[in-house]
């Protein structure tokens, strides 16, 4: 029961996502990622159905599993009720569990996702908060966001938000007792353990690649994986 396919079988997302794929390709036809990347969910499902651990290991170490946007358009259209998007979630989970994610350019990006979104959840109680969306890292946000960024308090209060205030409302400070409960949930359910694995495997990879890494977000390794695009992902 230690094989990779067997490990996938233990994930309820995998169980719900793949019963019997007839390889019709409907998922690929509707998939936004298949249109943009060298990605084909039909082929991915076919590889999984071989139950061949060697092929599954190659998949777990590849860029392929990181192309999906998890929009779940595939679920609506699959004539057999499969959800390749759910299979992808299970594959990504296993890739991180085993440290295989650092073997691909797209997989390595998980460290910055963890340090941006993961840290925000634990520190503020929000996945995203305005202060996180800096104009330097998000030039696409435009000139209005830049103006907004310089006047958050005045603008948000005008619009009825409770920006960094106590009590209910949009953009409030989430009470410490609530953050403590979230932290405790992460500890009990394996959230912190996954964070540690992402950190440990990434630091090992940074060393291998000869890039400096520390606990910040703007160290050379993080900035490299955040910005680097080899250009080898699209047809």
Partner 1 sequence: MRDEGKKRIWQEYQKEIADDNYYYVRSCIRQTFFPGSEHTFVKILKEELAKNLYETPAHTTCTGIGYHSDVVPFETTMTVVARQFSLMSEAGYKNYVPSCITSFGLYTEILEIWHEHPEIEDKIKEWLWKATKREFKKPENLAHSSDIIYKFRENIASIAKYKLVNNENGKPLKVVEHIGCHYSKMFPQKGVGGAEYPYVLTGMVKSWGGEVIDYPERRHCCGFGFRQYIVQANRGYSLGCSKKKFESMEPYEPDMIITNCPGCPMFLDRWQYVISETEGKTYGKDGHGIPVFTYEEVAGLVLGYDPWEIGLQLHQVPCEPVLEKMGIRYDPAKKYLGKNGEYLGKPVSPDYLKFY
Contacts (CB under 8 A) with partner 1, residues 38-97: 66, 68-73, 75-76, 83, 89, 92-93, 96
Write the CB contacts of 214 (distance below 8 Å, at least 6 apart in sequence): none
Q: Does 228 bind partner 1 (CB under 8 A)?
A: yes
Contact between 88 and 70 under an 8 Å Cβ cutoff? The reply is: yes
Task: Considering the complex, state which of residue 167 and residue 210 has its C-beta at the smaller distance from partner 1.
Answer: 167
Task: Considering the complex, state which of residue 39 and residue 48 has its C-beta at the smaller distance from partner 1.
Answer: 39
Q: Which of residues 103-132 bind partner 1 (CB under 8 A)?
A: 106, 109-110, 112-114, 116-118, 121, 125-130
Q: Does 22 bind partner 1 (CB under 8 A)?
A: no
* Rounded-to-integer distance, Cα 162 and Cα 177, Å: 19
Of 43, 155, 209, 211, which lies in the binding site for partner 1, with binding defined by CB under 8 A? 155
Of 38, 142, 214, 218, which lies in the binding site for partner 1, with binding defined by CB under 8 A? 142
Of 178, 196, 214, 218, which lies in the binding site for partner 1, with binding defined by CB under 8 A? 178
Angle between helices 84-98 and 191-209 in degrees, nearest 10: 70
Q: Find the shortest distance in angstroms from Cβ 31 to partner 1.
A: 9
**Dihedral angle sign, alpha carbons of residues 107, 111, 114, 120:** negative
* Rounded-to-integer distance, Cα 28 and Cα 42, Å: 6
- Supply the Cα-derived Rg of the chain in whole angstroms: 20
Residue entry with tokens 């520190």 = 123
Q: Find the shortest distance in angstroms from Cβ 231 to partner 1.
A: 10
């Amino acid at each position: 029961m230690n094989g990779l396919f067997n490990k996938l079988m233990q994930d309820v997302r995998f169980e719900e996502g793949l019963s019997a794929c007839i390889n019709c390709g409907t998922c690929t036809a509707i998939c936004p990622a298949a249109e943009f990347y060298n990605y084909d969910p039909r082929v991915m499902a076919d590889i999984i159905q071989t139950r061949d651990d060697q092929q599954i290991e190659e998949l777990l170490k590849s860029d392929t599993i990181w192309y999906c946007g998890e929009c779940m358009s595939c679920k609506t259209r699959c004539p057999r009720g499969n959800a390749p998007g759910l299979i992808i979630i299970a594959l990504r989970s296993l890739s991180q569990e085993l440290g295989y994610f650092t073997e691909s350019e797209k997989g390595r990006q998980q460290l910055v996702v963890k340090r941006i979104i993961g840290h925000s959840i634990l520190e503020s109680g929000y996945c995203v908060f305005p202060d996180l969306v800096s104009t330097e890292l998000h030039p696409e946000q435009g000139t209005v966001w830049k103006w907004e960024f310089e006047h958050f308090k005045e603008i948000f209060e005008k619009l009825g938000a409770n920006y960094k205030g106590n009590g209910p409302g949009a953009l409030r400070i989430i009470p410490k007792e609530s953050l403590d409960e979230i932290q405790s949930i992460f500890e009990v359910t394996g959230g912190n353990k996954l964070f540690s694995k992402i950190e440990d495997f990434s630091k090992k990879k940074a060393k291998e690649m000869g890039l400096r890494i520390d606990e910040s977000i703007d160290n050379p390794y993080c900035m490299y994986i955040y910005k680097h695009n080899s250009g080898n992902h699209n047809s």
